Structure 1
Amino acid sequence: MSKYFFWDIVATTMMTLDQKKLYRLPWDQRNSPGGWIEITDRCDLSCRGCYRHTLEGDRSLETICSDVVALQQALNCETIAIAGGEPLLHPRLPEIVSFIAGRGLKPRLLTNGHCLTPELAATLKKAGLAAFHFHVDYQQNRPGWTGKDEQEHNTLRQHYADMVFQLGGVECGFYTTVYRSSLDQIPHIVRWLHKNPHKVQHLSLIVFRGLPDTPAITYHVNGRPVDIRQMRTRVADTHEITIRSEDVWRIINDHFPGSWPSAYTPGTAAPETFKFLVIPYIGSKKQIFGTAGPVTIKMGLWVLRLFSRKYAIAAREFGVGKKIFLFALIDGRMRQALKTYLKCVIRNPSVLAEKIYTQTINIQQPLEVISGKMNLCDGCVNYMLHEGELVHSCRLDEYRMFGGPLVPVQSDDPR
């Protein structure tokens, strides 16, 4: 555990995050790093945290390509996330990947991986796929994995990470939904992540969210009340949907001290909330040296924008090398990471031969109802098109099922 002690250790429970000390991620609807397309709403698993309903099946290649072009023009984006449902079920997935890559965009596949084979992975790489992002958590009702906790699911994560690593040149990341029952499992996932810096570039921990289904709140669309009982995201036990991104961060920092976030996205209805927190680690295969600070994140993203005229979701390289320590000239946290690295070199000069990697943990606090208002990410990286209108991907089914976004109405009488 001592390898995670980057600098002064204090009681994490006494810590609070200050937005003024973090970099506020700058993207908006006109300049967003990523767009989102859903090519099917069919799926081969049934995840507890899923917010998508099967209503339409597979979308045509023509409509998908049309959305890609429109998103590229509207968002000035760098990447396109290919999602679902389960996108591996779409029969024309390689063609979709090829079309996106052919437009100079980076296709990212968001998949549960259940039907992925090494042969299909190789086909997608050949088509131009830039990244596999796997959704793995213990409440997916995955055949052969029911009853296993998140620590045991690390074996499955390793299987997918090894498969992608064998391809070479394709990014690998993981998504995990965090429930109250799995909060104590987070350190096991993070520890596994840090053992694979050469294979896994990022981990997203997405807290479980849903629509509060209580007598105190009714929902309206375009001024008329609607019945949300048909939505799979409604939750009667509101305690289940009150996990905050800061709660997840504190658990991580309790076990891996010094895991400070560097960048964030606030909420729309509650600007003081942290809807998206980024923890960028610097390390080797054997140990973590520290985290990059807000200055490094800001400068890295702006340099990329200077040359590409686009924002990136992150400054991604499979092995950044020791040049990352140049940011120690302007970034206090990088100086701490460099000091830790140099101490390791003094103790063991063979550390000089170790390759340096970056890994990011993104903590996400999705759509939620706060004080009778929908609190969304103020700077969404998952905008998608619905009938020609840009919408948050997490709200698509509100439009598909009710014709517009839900508006919560707080009752004065909670009965």
Structure 2
Amino acid sequence: MLEKRDFYRLPWSMNDNPIAWIEITDICNIHCEGCYRQYKTGHKSLEQLKEEVLFFKKWRNPDNFSIAGGEPLIYPQIIDLVAFMKQQGIKPVILTNGLALTPDLLHELKKAGLAGFTMHIDSHQNRPHWNNKTEKELNDLRQMYADMVSREGGLYLVFNSTVYPSTYHEIPDVVRWGQQNFEKVQGLVFITYRTMTLDDSVGIDIRDQQVDLSKLSYTRDRFDEKFITSNEVYQIIKDNFPEYEASGYLGGSIRHDSYKWLIGALVGGKDKAYGSVGKKTMEVAQIGHHWYTGRYLAYLSTARIGPKIFLLAPWDKTLRQAWKNRLRDVIKHPGKVFESVNMQSIGIIQAPDLLPDGRADMCDSCPDITIYDGKFVNSCRLDEYRQFGGFISVLEKKEENVSS
């Protein structure tokens, strides 16, 4: 069982958070089952986005801009936007499904100052030529993009996927592939699926009026399977890869026992994990980065951290075990003393959970806050603001007794 005292509570807050989530368009070239966007307004203007960049810089203190959508790569002025973000001294990172990515566009984005990609690939996307594939089969597609980004060089690459009850057992296939690509893939993120069901839920807006929940993309007529939790994702990874351990977390905004973000970082060679960093190393990384740069850390500039990471082993028992495993490996294979030491993060995100009183247990210090009407709004619930003027409460329908 997970114990919060075993992990470092990430020190992020509303006004001092490493991530600035900027939605530049809500138009997309495919449809993912877990998508939060149904209400479409089109591309934002470049001038509006520049204003949002400056707003985030003033009020958020970010280490990176997460350029989101919709699909950012179809935004006509994406290169100009990346260049403007780079000019502000903040890392631009594009969240994409990769469908529109070409080597030429990749090269131009890097020239403009792009730091990296978070690429969403999973088996519940309506992706041309890749429908009805397992997560293991989709590793071929992940490999294609990993090779493309690696050939360009100098860019950070994370793959994320939504975890459904039907794909939960396939998580080890993705983690195993990631370990085979330590030098090309800097992170994996697993996001647990959540939905509301129309047949047993009623939505109430801020004026206490009932709303049409079907206007939201994250509603279904029925959903009979049990949702997967972050604890369960952690456990299946741990059971299959004992060298994995989490080191940092964000809790819920209401429930004291929930893990909304659970962050770990594997340390390994070219294609093998030696172990993980522990809570002390995570604490040093966050506090040290803030002391040195004035900002907390979300994305490393490079995954090639080198053996210097093991200097923290005396204070971090989890990292100490990774150092011992590397030492044994080098003794058995002396040539590996010259092999690079890399870090690969594994993030687990548990999407908002509806509580019986109608509230949602959100991510405390939400990293994916975006801007709407001059204020910060949780990006996963932005459509509620756009459709209904604010967050809604979702209650279980009451069966009415009808007498004849």
TM-score by length of 1: 0.93
Aligned partner of 2:69 among 74, 84, 89? 84
Deviation at 1:67, TM superposition (A): 0.6
1:398 aligns with 384
Deviation at 1:369, TM superposition (A): 0.4
Matches within 5 A, 1:185-204: 185-204=170-189
Q: CA offsets per residue over residues 36-65 of structure 1, 9 Å max, x none?
A: 111111111011111112421111001111
Contact 1:222 1:404 in 2 (8 A): no
Amino acid at match of 2:129: G
Contact 1:53 1:397 in 2 (8 A): yes
1:335 aligned onto 2:297: no
Matches within 5 A, 1:208-219: 208-215=193-200, 217-219=202-204
Amino acid at match of 1:287: K
2:112 aligns with 127
2:394 aligns with 408
Aligned partner of 2:149 among 164, 171, 177? 164
Aligned partner of 1:292 among 266, 269, 277? 277
Contact 1:281 1:360 in 2 (8 A): yes
Partners of 1:265 and 1:82 in 2: CA distance: 22
Matches within 5 A, 1:178-189: 178-189=163-174
State the superposition RMSD in angstroms.
Answer: 1.5
Contact 2:243 2:273 in 1 (8 A): no
Aligned partner of 1:271 among 248, 252, 256? 256
2:36 aligns with 51
Partners of 1:190 and 1:44 in 2: CA distance: 27
Amino acid at match of 1:159: M
SS in 2 for 1:385: strand
SS in 2 for 1:221: coil
Partners of 2:251 and 2:178 in 1: CA distance: 26
Sequence identity (%): 38
Amino acid at match of 1:197: F
**Residues 334 and 384 (structure 1 numbering): CA distance in 2 closer, same or farther, change over 3 Å?**
same
How many corresponding residue pairs? 400
1:205 aligns with 190
Partners of 1:32 and 1:70 in 2: CA distance: 13
**Residues 124 and 21 (structure 1 numbering): CA distance in 2 closer, same or farther, change over 3 Å?**
same
1:386 aligns with 372
Deviation at 1:214, TM superposition (A): 4.2
Contact 1:281 1:291 in 2 (8 A): yes
SS in 2 for 1:380: coil
Matches within 5 A, 1:190-269: 190-215=175-200, 217-240=202-225, 242-269=227-254
Partners of 1:414 and 1:244 in 2: CA distance: 33
Partners of 2:76 and 2:277 in 1: CA distance: 41
1:13 aligns with none
Matches within 5 A, 1:109-128: 109-128=94-113
Contact 1:200 1:359 in 2 (8 A): yes
Question: Which residues of structure 1 form unaligned runs of 5+?
Answer: 1-15
Matches within 5 A, 1:365-376: 365-372=350-357, 373-376=359-362
Matches within 5 A, 1:309-324: 309-324=294-309
Contact 1:31 1:311 in 2 (8 A): yes
Deviation at 1:316, TM superposition (A): 4.6
TM-score by length of 2: 0.96
SS in 1 for 2:246: coil
SS in 2 for 1:190: helix
Partners of 2:224 and 2:259 in 1: CA distance: 19
**Residues 216 and 56 (structure 1 numbering): CA distance in 2 closer, same or farther, change over 3 Å?**
closer
Q: CA offsets per residue over residues 234-257 of structure 1, 9 Å max, x none?
A: 134444462101111111111111
Contact 1:216 1:413 in 2 (8 A): no
Deviation at 1:408, TM superposition (A): 2.3
2:45 aligns with 60
1:7 aligns with none
Question: Which residues of structure 2 form unaligned runs of 5+?
Answer: none
Q: CA offsets per residue over residues 88-129 of structure 1, 9 Å max, x none?
A: 111111001011111001001000010110000101111111
**Mean Cα deviation higher: 77-86 or 366-375:** 366-375
